[in-house]
Structure 1
Amino acid sequence: MVYENIIEVTENFSTKYCVGEGGCGTVYRDDLTSGQVVSMKKLHVSPDGDLANLKSFTSEISALTKICHHNIVLLYGYCSHQRHSFLVFEFLEGGSLGKILSTEDRVLYFDWIRRVNVVKDVANALSFMHHDCSPV
Structure 2
Amino acid sequence: MMFAIWNFDGEDVYKKIVDATNNFSNAFCIGSGGNGSVYRAQLPTGELFAVKKIHVAEDDEQFNREIHSLVNIQHRNIAKLFGYCSATQGRFLVYEYMDRGSLAAALNCLGTAVEMDWARRLNIVRDIAHALSYMHHDCFAPIVHRDIKSSNVLLDLEFKACISDFGLAKILDANGSNCRNLAGTKGYLAL
Same fold (TM over 0.5): yes
Give aligned-pair identity as a percent.
45
Deviations along 1:9-68, whole A, 9 cap, x unmatched? Answer: 11110111111112221111111012211110111222xxxxx14211111111111010
Output the CA distance in 2 between the equivalents of 1:117 and 1:31.
Answer: 29
Structure 1 partner of 2:83:
77
**Is residue 2:32 matched to residue 1:21?**
yes
Shift of 1:121: 0.7
Indicate if the aligned counterparts of 1:78 and 1:85 stay in contact, CA closer than 8 A: yes
Structure 1 partner of 2:185:
none
Output the CA distance in 1 between the equivalents of 2:33 and 2:104.
Answer: 11
- Judged with a 3 Å threshold, the aligned counterparts in structure 2 of structure 1 residues 124 and 5 are, in CA distance, closer, same or farther, namely same
**Is residue 2:103 matched to residue 1:97?**
yes
Structure 1 partner of 2:94:
88
Output the CA distance in 2 between the equivalents of 1:105 and 1:86.
Answer: 32
**Is residue 2:120 matched to residue 1:114?**
yes
SS at match of 2:24: coil
Deviations along 1:90-123, whole A, 9 cap, x unmatched? Answer: 1111111111011112111112221221111111
How large is the RMSD of aligned CA atoms in angstroms? 1.4
SS at match of 1:30: strand
Structure with more of its chain in helix, by fraction: 1
Specify the code of the residue in structure 2 equivalent to 1:114. Answer: R
Of the three residues 2, 17, 24, the one matched with 1:6 is: 17
Alignment of 1:57-72 (within 5 A): 57-72=63-78
SS at match of 1:68: coil
Specify the code of the residue in structure 1 equivalent to 2:46. Answer: G
Specify the code of the residue in structure 2 equivalent to 1:121. Answer: D
Specify the code of the residue in structure 2 equivalent to 1:109. Answer: E
Structure 1: tracts of 5 or more residues without a match: 47-51
Output the CA distance in 2 between the equivalents of 1:14 and 1:125.
Answer: 32
Shift of 1:79: 0.5
Structure 2: tracts of 5 or more residues without a match: 1-11, 142-191
TM superposition score normalised by structure 1: 0.88
Output the CA distance in 1 between the equivalents of 2:118 and 2:32.
Answer: 26
Output the CA distance in 1 between the equivalents of 2:118 and 2:89.
Answer: 43
Shift of 1:8: 1.3
Specify the code of the residue in structure 1 equivalent to 2:75. Answer: H
Shift of 1:130: 1.3
Indicate if the aligned counterparts of 1:43 and 1:53 stay in contact, CA closer than 8 A: no
Structure 2 partner of 1:127:
133
